[in-house]
């Protein structure tokens, strides 16, 4: 396991359908969907910087919002599920 990776919970609220689709595709390429607009991403610091820059390039910063929550090192169990348990990723996305 790469100790340089950290697990991030990323959620978004995008106001326009076109931007929403683009953000969704970006997130699907870099993480695992936990809920509709909530993703878990295992990223290095560099990958996080690139992901954020790409997202900001898509967003209207006056209308849209994204929250990024650092959950710590990959492998630390920080989730409690009530009801159907979501499947969390076992390894991080690779940005090429």
DSSP 52: H
pLDDT by residue for the chain (96 residues), tens only, comes to: 445 899 999 999 999 999 999 999 999 999 999 999 999 999 999 999 999 999 999 999 999 999 999 999 887 677 777 877 667 666 555 443
Contact assessment for residue 83 and residue 72, using Cβ atoms and an 8 Å cutoff? no
Q: Tell me how far apart the alpha carbons of residues 66 and 37 are, in angstroms, rounded to a whole number.
A: 10
Q: Tell me how far apart the alpha carbons of residues 75 and 37 are, in angstroms, rounded to a whole number.
A: 22
Structure tokens at 47: 């990958």
Q: What is the value of pTM for the model shown?
A: 0.81
């Amino acid at each position: 396991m790469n100790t340089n990776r950290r697990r991030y919970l990323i959620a978004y609220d995008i106001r326009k359908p076109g931007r929403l689709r683009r953000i969704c595709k970006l997130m699907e390429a870099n993480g695992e969907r936990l809920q509709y607009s909530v993703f878990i991403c295992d990223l290095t610091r560099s990958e996080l910087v690139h992901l954020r820059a790409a997202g900001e390039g898509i967003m209207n910063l006056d209308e849209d919002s994204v929250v990024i929550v650092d959950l710590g090192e990959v492998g630390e169990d920080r989730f409690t599920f009530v009801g159907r348990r979501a499947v969390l990723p076992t390894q991080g996305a690779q940005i090429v």
